[in-house]
Structure formats: structure tokens, C-alpha cells
Amino acid sequence: MNEDKLNIYLNQAIDFCVSYAPKIIMAAASFYIGFWLIKKIIAIVELSLDKANFSKEVRPFVVSFINIALKVFVVLFAASFLGFETSSIVGILAAASFAVGLALQGSLGNFAAGILVMVFRPYKLGDMVEINGKFGKVEDISIFNTTLSTPGFKTLIIPNGKIIEDTIINFSTKGKVRLELNVTMPYEESFPKVKEVILSTLHNVPYVLEDPAPMVGIESFDSHNVVLAVRPFIKPDNYWEALFETHRAIKTAFHNNGIKVAYSEGVEIGPIGE
């Protein structure tokens, strides 16, 4: 009896091998050849991205995405030899991806925005920028957020999704930026004299560029003074130093040249009868 059972099991094993051995061999061969081809394809992709000077920040994600997509295809292809319904597997993967996408909607938005930032590069490391009303130097660009360092030594971490939705002001793109200062002078002062004093002062401020030349003009008129627009050009990295030094130098020059700064005179009213 035991010998009969053994023969039955042996025959079943032989039938299984005869039926599934070719499928298993084909699946194994598909895995081996498929993953070998993937290595070759990834090497070609990396070489192509390198020759095209593709963004170094985006490159790992592009390569990783292609690598995962190809491996999923190979797994599905090999599974088809074993009799699995690939359409069912694809459906399960799609449903799982949809569920994960809903759970990580905000993070995926930042991820997509990070790809756009790295591809189109509205700013790069070291640039002085204003993002979401925040001014600072770009210290790091990751796939989910951008890190700024402010002049006050604060670190700002801004989600890339917020950055894409807002206006980005890059002060470093042209290699120079214009300071926008306003200086007041009394009506009795001579504008040509004041203009000459300011321009001469700006010429001696080390942060101010000679080209383009600084500009000084009358911007508006107030009830007690004339408002002058002072527009020197500087390098973005020297923004705050130039701003403070320019104000100090103009104040000192006005004092040395006897130019009064206009101010409104108040009228003091005492108690009635005194």
C-alpha cells in the first residue's frame, strides 16, 4: 500500500515537472535576461543624461523611476509564463498606487514641484532669492523642499509646492541687482548740488558698481520735502552690506556738505490762558 502511494506521489511529481518545468525555466530565463538588459539600459540612460548635462539633482530620480518601471515589467512578463493573470496584478498595483496617492497627495505635489524646480532651475545653490515673501540665500534644493538661509541666520524650509504656486524673484540671475533707496531734501536745497553729492558719495562706496552707473532723480513731492530716488547697482551677495553702507555714506555726506534733511515741524499747543 505504501509503495502504491509512493508511486502515485512520484507520478504526480513527474507530471508537475513535465507540465510546469518549461514554464518555470521560461520565467527564470525571463528574470535573468530581463534584469541583465535592465542593467545595460540603465547604464545607457546614465551615460546619455551625463552627456546632455542633465540636472544632477533630478538624475537619480529619473534613473530610479526607469529602473523600477522596467523591473515591474519584467516581473509581470515572467509571471505570465507561470499562468498568473497579469491583468489582475496590474489592477491590484493600480488600486494600491491610487490609495497611496490619496494618502500622500501633498507630498506627491511637492515631489512633482521639486522635479519642475530641478528641471527648469529658476534658481540654483547660492542664489539670493525672494520666495513667498521670504528673502535669503539658497542653501539646499531637495525633491520635496528648498532651504533658504536668511541674513538673520534663520533657516527657512519651504515646500516646493508652495514655491511653484508663487512668484520667484531671483536677484542673482544677472549677477547684479539695483538698490531702491529714497532720500528726502528740503525745497530750498539745490537739486543739482544734492545729486552731485549723492553720486560722488556712491562712487566711493566699495559695494556700488560703476557699470551700470548709479542713478539719482526726483521721484515725488511731499508737503515738506522733495523725495529723491537713489538707484545704485550692486552684486547680490553684498546686498545688506551695500544697503547699510550706502545709507551711512549719504547721511555723512549730507552732514559734511551742510545739506539739511527735511522734516515736518510740529506746533506745540499749551493750555489756554497761559
Average pLDDT over every residue of 255-270: 66
Residue 233's Cβ-count burial label (10 Å; 0-12, 13-18, 19+) is: buried
Maximum mean pLDDT: which of 61-65, 70-74, 88-92: 70-74
Q: Give the start-end residues of each E strand in the chain.
A: 128-131, 134-141, 145-149, 155-159, 168-170, 177-178, 181-185, 215-221, 226-231, 233-234
Looking at residue 244, what is its pLDDT? 92
The answer to which of 8-17, 159-168, 235-244 has the lowest mean pLDDT is 8-17
23 and 90 both lie in a single domain: yes
pTM of the model: 0.55
- Residue 127, classed as helix, strand or coil, is coil
Instruction: Name the more confident of 15 and 240.
Output: 240
> CB within 8 A of 49, min separation 6: which ones?
59, 62, 63
Show the domain range for 244. 177-256
Cβ atoms of residues 23 and 44 within 8 Å: no
Q: What is the CATH number of the domain that holds 202?
A: 3.30.70.100
Give percent of the chain with pLDDT exceeding 90. Answer: 15
Kindly compute the dihedral angle of the four CA atoms of residues 148, 153, 155, 160, in this order, to the nearest 10 degrees.
-20
Q: Is residue 114 part of a domain?
A: no
Q: Which residue has the cell 549719504?
A: 250
Average pLDDT over every residue of 35-40: 90
Tally of domains within the chain: 3
List pLDDT tens digits, range 176-223.
Answer: 888 889 998 888 888 999 999 999 999 999 989 988 899 999 999 988
Give the integer Cα–Cα distance in Å for 263 and 38.
75
Model confidence at 23, in pLDDT bands (50, 70, 90)? confident
Q: Is residue 18 part of a domain?
A: yes
Give the integer Cα–Cα distance in Å for 167 and 245.
29
